Amino acid sequence: MKKVVFIFSIFLIGFTTQGQQVKNKKNAKIAFNVDGICGMCKKRIETAALKTKGIKFAIWDVKTHQLNVILNEQKTSLKTLKTNIAAAGHDVKDFTATEEAYAAVHPCCKYRDNKIILDHEGMLKKERN
């Protein structure tokens, strides 16, 4: 009887430790907002994302400002991706582009300037929180 209880205990411990392991996905689909305003922004954002090791797919929508990516969580993290996009001059939630990076974007891509936003026909105006 003691052997049966012992074996059952070992078996149960094995399942609980296996359940605690966090497995990183190879094809994690993630979407988040990135500030931008035009087609040049789209190219810059997607290029910054795709140059990040572990990013398999990246597409940014000009109207919704949503970036959809497929990433390998074993090779990169969401934080690394957002940092690289901010380094390209675009704000991401919790990651603001530095003034130097923002200044380097094309003058028509100055998404922080309301006049530029209105020059882009006003329909791409983003909501500031």
Please check whether residue 108 lies inside any domain of the structure: yes
pLDDT at 122: 53
Please check whether residue 18 lies inside any domain of the structure: no
The CATH number assigned to the domain holding 108 equals: 3.30.70.100
119: buried, middle or exposed (CB in 10 Å: 19+, 13-18, 0-12)? Answer: middle
Strands of the sheet with 28-33, listed across from one edge: 28-33, 66-71, 55-60
Reported as a single tens digit per residue, the pLDDT across 88-123 is 999 998 899 999 999 999 998 999 988 888 887 654
Please check whether residue 55 lies inside any domain of the structure: yes
Please check whether residue 3 lies inside any domain of the structure: no
Structural domains of the chain, count: 1
Full residue range of the structural domain in which residue 95 is found: 28-119
Reported as a single tens digit per residue, the pLDDT across 42-86 is 999 999 999 999 999 999 999 999 999 999 999 999 999 999 999
Please check whether residue 69 lies inside any domain of the structure: yes
pLDDT at 90: 96
pLDDT at 125: 45
Please check whether residue 6 lies inside any domain of the structure: no
Please check whether residue 125 lies inside any domain of the structure: no
d(CA 115, CA 126): 12
pTM attached to this predicted model: 0.74
Please check whether residue 7 lies inside any domain of the structure: no
